[in-house]
A and B are shown apart, each in its own frame.
Chain A
Amino acid sequence: MLQYDLVVVGGGPAGMAAALKAKECGVSKIVILERAETLGGILEQCIHTGFGLHYFGEELSGPEYAARFIELVKQTDIDVKVNTMVLSVSDDKVVTAVNTADGLLKIQAKAVVLAMGCRERPRGALQIAGTRASGIMTAGTAQKYVNIDGYMPGKKVVILGSGDIGLIMARRMTLEGAEVKVVCELMPFSGGLTRNIVQCLDDFGIPLRLSTTVIETHGKERLEGVTIAQVDDHLQPIPGTEEYIECDTLMLSVGLIPENELTKQAGIGLDRITNGAVVNEMRETDHKGIFACGNVLQVHDLVDYVTLESQIAGEGAARYILGQDSDEKVYINTKPENGVRYIVPQKVNIKSKEDVKLYFRVGAIYKNKKLTVEADGNVISSKKKVKLAPGEMENVVIPADVLASLNENSTITVRVED
């Protein structure tokens, strides 16, 4: 069996940042296991810019952002195994993986960072009536066809879901000569960033239909059209509002699911809302020495935040491996309230010597509200917010001295209020 101090599962932005941080903190033997042919993860196909504004202070494309980390990894002695599929992570941190060069691999790790990312919700999860004609795919699959494989998946496109990937693909297909007829969004608001609605739809006159969904697909071999309909407050199609739209391609951008099969298999506790692991402020799961970060923990909208989160996990893993985390720990829960859907981390060590940042999302669009953080009835902070939206992750800082004033029965709550 191979022996490593740290095994990082996934070589996207999360895995690379965690591995690099652990290296910087003094961990000697590290390996990154990556399923794809190259490091970089989903960034490789995200050729639009907008990455790195926070972290590098400049606007990069996905491949450029990834390349900076790939270069840093190359400069270290971190081992990288690509084309390698991890099959399981056991309780005692034995990682089983397979590839064509090594065959079946068993690696005993002192610590593991889970950084598998997320995948798109597929058509099957939507229960749209109709045949299985070709031309129906997720927006991310279409993005790979166009940006990596270099071919166009269709000419007349309808997009369901106004998440960022859907919006980006609306522009990409338009630039390459396709006609994007409409973007339909089930909810009364878009889940994508405002800038993407402006520069991907408005710039090209592509209509965005809110509270509208696709209820049926038509065509036997190839998609010939879709029926769209408006939905009511309960998201149910309203009879009489059906409309037929001719198209050969339907792209779905209807949500991302953290890829937590390995996490579940290992018996690690998950958060029902994030679909990611329950973690403490170092992103350590309920299994000591197993950490999670990036989109496998919570779906992010900015890769910059993935990098920051993963550096925390990398540092946490390093402290665990190097035996630097023996100080007393007292964990309390963070609790989302009124309007806040979830908080990561779910647990915070009140003995932490550093400030702790809580990341969270709201469940609806709010205007001119306050974000209030409270512990045991005492307001820690209350910040005015002009706009809060589910598509944009928020964060608040809990200073270390505030944490030190709490006790084991305390709870930190975050809520939206007037």
Chain B
Amino acid sequence: MKKVMNCIACPLGCLITVEYDGSEVLSVTGNTCKRGDAYARTEITNPVRSIHSTVKVNGGEHPVVPCKTSGPIPKGAIFDVMKEINKVTVDAPVSIGQVFIKDVCGTGVDIVATNNDCGK
């Protein structure tokens, strides 16, 4: 089988053609870098995405502080992960990289802060 997809690894958005048989990838063409090749392969076998959101912060400069998944998570887990993120409240100060949730939903990926908040 053949699938044509736009790569989302970077803003270039290469048009990639993947030939595959079931979950076995036979060829990847049209990509301009290694990341494109990797994207196309996982997109066929196990599509993953990174998620970015916010969590509530007590005593912060702002009511919320941004966060992200420390790595990609399975596409199917997106809304479960969002539910967990929305349960979290942290206290200021917060610094970039601080872990809010360890191993969210058993994905092996953490939810980490993506901004500093020195507090009021």
Contacts and interface: CB of A to CB of B under 8 A. Distances in A.
A147 B66 contact: yes
Interface stretch (A59-67, A102-110, A244-252, A334-342): A59-67
Contacts, number: 84
Contacts of B9: 195
Interface string A284-321: 00000000000000000110000000000000000000
A47 B8 contact: no
Contacts of A25: none
21 contacts: A38-B61, A44-B115, A49-B52, A49-B68, A59-B10, A63-B114, A63-B116, A64-B96, A64-B114, A67-B116, A148-B62, A149-B63, A176-B82, A193-B11, A194-B6, A194-B8, A195-B8, A195-B9, A195-B11, A199-B8, A302-B11
Interface in A349-386: 386
B7 interface: yes
The prevalent SS among residues of A at the interface is: mixed
A301 B82 CA distance: 28
Interface residues of A, number: 34
A176 B96 CA distance: 22
Interface in B65-79: 66, 68, 75, 78-79
Contact of B54 (A38, A64, A147, A199): A147
Interface string A134-150: 00000000000011111
A147 B64 contact: yes
A48 B10 contact: no
Interface in B1-29: 5-11, 13, 15
Nearest to A146: B54
B11 to A, nearest CB: 5
Interface residues of B, number: 30
Nearest to A148: B62
Contacts of A392: 11
B115 A67 contact: yes
A61 B68 contact: yes
A48 B51 CA distance: 8
A393 B62 CA distance: 34
B52 A193 contact: no
A203 interface: yes
Interface in A43-78: 44, 47-50, 53, 59-61, 63-64, 67
A194 B8 CA distance: 8
Contact of A301 (B10, B11, B52, B63): B11
B88 to A, nearest CB: 12
Contact of A198 (B6, B64, B66, B79): B6
